[in-house]
Amino acid sequence: MSWSDVLEQLKDGPLPHHVGVVMDGNGRWAEQRGLPRGEGHRRGAEAAERLIRLAGGEKLCAHLTLFALSTENWDRPPSEVELLLGLLEEFISRKLEELADAGVRLDVIGQQDRLPLRLRSALSKAEQRTQDNDTLHLHVALSFGGRWAVTEAVRGAVRAARAGELREEQVDEHVVHGLMPTAGIPDVDLLIRTAGEQRISNFLLWESAYAEFYFAPVPWPDFDGAEFVKALETYQGRQRSFGKGSL
Ligand code: IPE
Ligand code: MG
């Protein structure tokens, strides 16, 4: 079957509205080749770009969230964290116009106050530049943690209650999500993690309540279009009952 036939067939089935990706294995990819870890991260950035182009170009999902840096990743050696943030800044400055022209809308979720000022301003410029686009909504989870996001909602609820704007009986799941930094981001339908690890690692905890999980054996730099198609085909083979029993 040709590549375009593969894509056409895929589009005949149900596609996930929101795909979340834990991009893992950059370091191992590099180590297996005797290369510095940074080279793995560089190739990882290319893999991310490839996926954004494919998902957006073929409209394979409406929302794509990439886990670029977790709150725990700050504990890595400072040189590695700097390299990761530097790669992101470079990526934004080099690719922003192309991505914007391709209809990508970018936004960042995470503890932005921990980020270097220059990166923050590059990110907010990218958010502003792309805010009217609607081909693919790309969420970059950066300095992000699912527990942090829930904690932010609790803080917001306490503040609102103190101000007399929220009563206990008004608090439901909808209100909680509305107070989270991920408010407005839909539930994850398909959560992909690469490099064979089978963990959620504090990613989109709230939004992944009923996500289908797909674990790809390949390290992130090797995650190409064919791998994404495999993940989507697997997703299409799943029965989703959302806890309501089989239909
Ligand atoms: C993922 O690759 C990149 C980020 C966490 C940002 P890793 O750096 O975790 O690679 P491994 O797990 O050491 O192979
Ligand atoms: Mg890892």
Confidence of residue 4 (pLDDT cuts 50, 70, 90): very high
Measured CA to CA, the distance from residue 188 to residue 190 in angstroms comes to 6
pLDDT tens figures, 40-51: 999 999 999 999
> What is the structure's pLDDT at 221?
98
Domain of 95, in residue numbers: 16-130+137-236
Asked if the structure places residue 9 within a domain, the reply is no
Q: What is the CATH number of the domain that holds 75?
A: 3.40.1180.10
pLDDT tens figures, 90-119: 999 999 999 999 999 999 999 999 999 999
Token pair 């693919």 is found at 136
Catalytic residue among 26, 73, 107, 187: 73
Instruction: Indicate whether 247 pLDDT > 70.
Output: no
Asked if the structure places residue 241 within a domain, the reply is no
Number of domains in the chain: 1
Q: What's the residue count for the chain?
A: 247
Measured CA to CA, the distance from residue 153 to residue 186 in angstroms comes to 16
pLDDT tens figures, 179-202: 999 999 999 999 999 999 999 999
Q: Tell me what the mean pLDDT of segment 135-149 comes to.
A: 98
Specify the ligand 1 atom closest to the Cα of 23: 1
Instruction: Give all strands of the β-sheet with 63-70 in edge-to-edge order.
Output: 104-109, 136-144, 63-70, 18-22, 190-193, 212-215
Instruction: Indicate whether 246 pLDDT > 90.
Output: no
What's the mean pLDDT when you consider all of the chain? Answer: 97
Asked if the structure places residue 177 within a domain, the reply is yes
Active site residue 24: yes
Measured CA to CA, the distance from residue 137 to residue 240 in angstroms comes to 24
% of the chain with per-residue pLDDT over 70 = 99
Asked if the structure places residue 117 within a domain, the reply is yes
Element (DSSP H or E) covering residue 212: strand 212-215
Mutate to test the pocket of ligand 1, among 21, 28, 75 (most ligand atoms within 8 A of CB): 28
Instruction: Indicate whether 245 pLDDT > 90.
Output: no
Instruction: Indicate whether 207 pLDDT > 60.
Output: yes
Burial 88-121, CB ≥16 within 10 A → b, else e: bbebbeebbeebbebbbbbbbbbbeeebeeebbe
Measured CA to CA, the distance from residue 71 to residue 193 in angstroms comes to 17
> What is the structure's pLDDT at 208?
98
| Structure letter (DSSP) for residue 237 | T
Asked if the structure places residue 3 within a domain, the reply is no
Pick the ligand that lies closest to the CA of residue 84.
Answer: 1
Q: Write the CB contacts of 229 (distance below 8 Å, at least 6 apart in sequence).
A: 6, 7, 10
